[in-house]
């Protein structure tokens, strides 16, 4: 299978892995970027946008990147912290007064960023379509009680984090999260990324291919947080290919981009806060990302995770291929993954349309990340 783009000679193994996965059908279409302090060592894409294999994955193909969107949403919050407009230790209710109900008076901004607020989903009944209604969905979150008490225990805010942070962004700036990302992040950086997708871009979107049906993994859920999170609401992967999904503002779920645009944005963290003269963060703000907020079995995902301020930190038991040190990462349902390594100014980003099993990472993501680090060894 033809792969387009380029890679430095030492990253040949990354190209070979992508080629093998495309040839075997493990991948349908995908893009991979490795950026080292502004040098694009890898920028590869290949495969198809459609299951009929009629539409090739092009240089400007974009796709729904699921929870990789959360990384951009958290960057938006960090930018407001950097500007002194948001205090991570302040109660959410100091910016969003309606949130101070049902025992949430003391939940802080940092709890939204680190998945420790206790509001990891919506009390049922709550439908996928309700996600698209900003006023309804945020008012429901403001009214409900947290599902657990500890503010140092994470429960992955699978669909809710974008609405929670997005409403704070709206209260502070007067601008929707979607517009803030367009005006303050993607626009200045020239990054082909958007929350949702404009209709004018639909003809270049690679539709996502849903993952295999989940199996009973036997993870105990004594608090029922796992069930409540993923059923409140139950999101169908195929919904990402619909007009209603693309029209919505969902900072946890419906960002559209590719490896190049995701790497362009998030390399801000790897490169000290400034990319090609555009400064989004001070180095001191970047350092706060690596302050551990929680470490333990996540109540929603059922695996050991460590969270800093807005991003996951290395946890060898659950993500053994993410190296230890000053590294942060996250990814999206089905396997997309972005790894940020400020000490080496390294950004690795992988985006695909054929979803694999699981929420965070995949065998393919592991393969590309390991090959990238091996090239740098």
Tokens of 98: 């309606």
- pLDDT of 15-35, one tens digit each? 999 999 999 999 999 999 999
Q: Fold for domain 3-214+224-376?
A: Beta-lactamase (3.40.710)
CB 132 within 8 A of CB 92: no
What length is written for the chain? 377
List the domain boundaries for the chain.
3-214+224-376
pTM for the whole thing? Answer: 0.97
Q: Is the pLDDT of residue 359 over 90?
A: no
d(CA 210, CA 207): 9
- pLDDT of 257-311, one tens digit each? 999 999 999 999 999 999 999 999 999 999 999 999 999 999 999 999 999 999 9
Residue 1 pLDDT class (50, 70, 90 cuts): confident
Residue written as token pair 């200045």: 188
CB 140 within 8 A of CB 248: no
All residues at 6 or more sequence positions from 291 whose CB lies less than 8 Å from its CB, including other chains: 308, 309
- pLDDT of 180-213, one tens digit each? 999 999 999 999 999 999 999 999 999 999 998 7
Residue 245 pLDDT class (50, 70, 90 cuts): very high
């Amino acid at each position: 299978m033809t792969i387009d783009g380029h890679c430095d000679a030492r990253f040949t193994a990354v190209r070979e892995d992508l080629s093998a996965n495309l040839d075997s059908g493990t991948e349908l279409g995908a893009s991979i970027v490795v950026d080292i302090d502004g040098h694009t060592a890898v920028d590869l894409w290949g495969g198809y946008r459609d299951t009929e294999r009629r539409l090739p994955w092009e240089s400007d193909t974009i796709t729904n990147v699921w929870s990789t969107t959360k990384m951009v949403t958290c960057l938006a919050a960090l930018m407001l912290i950097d500007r002194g407009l948001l205090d991570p230790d302040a109660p959410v209710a100091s910016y969003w007064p309606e949130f101070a109900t049902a025992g949430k008076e003391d939940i802080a901004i940092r709890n939204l960023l680190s998945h420790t607020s206790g509001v990891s989903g919506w009390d049922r009944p709550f439908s996928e379509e309700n996600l698209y209604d900003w006023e309804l969905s945020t008012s429901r979150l403001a009214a409900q009680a947290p599902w657990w008490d500890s503010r140092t225990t994470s429960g992955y805010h699978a669909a809710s984090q974008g609405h929670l942070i997005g409403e704070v962004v709206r209260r502070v700036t007067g601008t929707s999260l979607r517009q803030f990302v367009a005006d303050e992040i993607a626009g200045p950086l020239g990054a082909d990324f958007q929350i949702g997708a404009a209709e004018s871009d639909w003809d270049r979107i690679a539709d996502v291919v849903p993952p295999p049906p989940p199996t009973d993994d036997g993870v105990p859920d004594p608090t029922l947080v796992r069930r409540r999170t993923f059923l409140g609401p139950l999101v169908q992967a195929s919904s990402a290919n619909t007009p209603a999904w693309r029209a919505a503002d969902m900072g946890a779920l419906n960002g559209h981009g590719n490896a190049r645009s995701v790497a362009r944005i998030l390399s801000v963290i790897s490169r000290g806060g400034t990319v090609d003269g555009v400064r989004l963060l001070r180095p001191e703000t970047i350092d706060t990302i690596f302050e551990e907020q929680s470490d333990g079995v996540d109540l929603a995902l059922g695996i050991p995770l460590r969270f800093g301020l807005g991003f996951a930190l290395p946890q060898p038991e659950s993500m053994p291929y993410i190296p230890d040190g000053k590294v942060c990462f996250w990814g999206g349902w089905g396997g997309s993954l972005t790894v940020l390594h400020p000490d080496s100014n390294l950004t690795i980003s992988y985006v695909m349309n054929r979803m694999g099993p699981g929420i965070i990472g995949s065998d393919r993501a592991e393969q590309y990340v390991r090959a990238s680090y091996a090239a740098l060894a």
